[in-house]
């Protein structure tokens, strides 16, 4: 009860003061909890995007490697075709050299010249296909490198989330800083993946 010049505390006043004092301490803990919860939600979202990108680049690397294998097979087929033309050319040369009649020699010489031209076209095509295969291999390697970056970024973010859980349980400030640090590392590695570095 309160009177004119002095104030007497009732039992509930003491409890209110005690609750007010502990509320100020509790708000710091509550602030930490809210901060970690928000951080975890954001990092989990970013981590999900990074994981998707990692899977996409891994799939691309596999597709590109498959395209390279197909092109290598096509090039091999062209070189086999080139070899078949070389064999025919060699037989035509032997036939020309052994032909007793001049008309037959001319006929074989025409075949030799045709085989030589066909071989040049086949060789150019085979070399182009081989270059295509090398290009697909290079693209596959680039995608695999990018996949590894996305995987590293995702792993760092998962560690940050684990540190967040431990920080919540233990209420250790240094774990909270570790959580922020690992989150920053994960986002940084993700930025490198985005920039193809």
List of residues 6+ apart from 2 with CB closer than 8 A: 8
Rounded to whole angstroms, the Cα distance separating 34 from 40 reads: 10
Q: What per-residue confidence (pLDDT) applies to 1?
A: 47
pTM for this predicted structure:
0.71
- 47: exposed, middle or buried (Cβ count in 10 Å: 0-12, 13-18, 19+): buried
Q: Where are the alpha helices (DSSP H) in the chain?
A: 11-98, 102-170, 173-194
Each of the 197 residues of the chain gets a pLDDT tens digit; together they read: 455 565 555 454 454 455 445 545 555 667 778 888 889 999 999 999 999 999 999 999 999 999 999 999 999 999 999 999 999 999 999 999 998 888 888 999 999 999 999 999 999 999 999 999 999 999 999 999 999 999 999 999 999 999 998 988 888 889 889 999 999 999 999 999 999 88
Q: What per-residue confidence (pLDDT) applies to 173?
A: 86
Spatial contact of 57 and 151, defined as CB atoms under 8 Å apart: no
Longest alpha-carbon distance in the chain: 144
Q: What per-residue confidence (pLDDT) applies to 21?
A: 57
Q: What per-residue confidence (pLDDT) applies to 16?
A: 44
């Amino acid at each position: 009860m309160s009177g004119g010049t002095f104030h007497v505390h009732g039992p509930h006043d003491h409890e209110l003061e005690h609750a007010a004092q502990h509320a100020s301490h509790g708000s710091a803990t509550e602030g930490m909890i809210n901060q970690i919860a928000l951080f975890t939600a954001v990092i989990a979202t970013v981590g999900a995007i990074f994981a998707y990108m990692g899977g996409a680049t891994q799939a691309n690397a596999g597709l590109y490697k498959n395209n390279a294998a197909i092109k290598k097979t096509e090039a091999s087929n062209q070189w086999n075709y080139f070899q078949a033309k070389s064999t025919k050319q060699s037989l035509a040369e032997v036939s020309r050299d052994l032909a007793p009649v001049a008309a037959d020699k001319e006929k074989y010489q025409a075949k030799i010249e045709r085989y030589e031209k066909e071989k040049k076209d086949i060789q150019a095509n085979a070399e182009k296909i081989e270059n295509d295969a090398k290009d697909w291999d290079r693209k596959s390697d680039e995608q695999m490198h990018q996949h590894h970056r996305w995987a590293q970024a995702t792993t760092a973010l998962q560690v940050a989330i684990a540190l967040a859980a431990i920080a919540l349980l233990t209420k250790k400030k240094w774990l909270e800083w570790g959580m922020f640090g690992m989150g920053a590392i994960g986002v940084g590695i993700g930025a490198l993946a985005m920039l193809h570095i």
